[in-house]
Structure 1
């Protein structure tokens, strides 16, 4: 289905695994499954959504790591996976999403450093309560900020 561009199923009581067939909606530019009860892993089929600009998977019960297939989404501008049970490192491919302006990973037992290189267009970065340890790599601060852009960064570590 190439004509469907927008799906928001936010704040329902949907449960089970995120259906892999959502990857067939290749015309999607916006997908929000936020605030449901989805469980299991993020299906790699979502990587087929190469037109996607916004992907919001926050506030579910997702586990495992983010699939490498998501790297195929080249023009993503907004990615949120807060409040899940994901683990592992923040995937390096996030640093290759050069259009990414908003990244939110919070309230998750992982991921760990290293952080990917922060894309040039990043305006909103929240990494809160995700059990970060170690030192913040210098390249995480190397983003160039213009006077016309607003940049917000929030990294909180709780002991």
Structure 2
């Protein structure tokens, strides 16, 4: 029988960084929601190891992208997430997708980044009257590397064949 309800999860046993999956999707809709249950679940999970580095993964963005046709697909009640995360300085990053664009924003006393697309990229059009569009841009992904000395470093990596290598001076 399929599981009903959110599918939050925690990976605690593979290295020094906790991976926390926060399910914010609403079945049948494009936008998400940080409801009280999700906020409480996350607060409880972070409180179990408040000093351990953590990455929170989610789908929809809990902030305004200022691309009007993307903001219709945001995660509502993002302030709840920001309130919880702001209490836990060991949250290194919030990562998410859904908008097919790389974005970086300060959020809840941490950094939130969105992944670029591996397929079509959503057009970066910030005018209020902008019409939805997408383009074939170079695909990419984010690589997150954590060390005790630096914390989490995030690299934007394009996918493809590119000229080089060239000498480094």
TM-score by length of 2: 0.34
Tell me the TM-score normalised to structure 1 length: 0.35
Comparing both structures, which one devotes a greater share of its residues to strand? 2
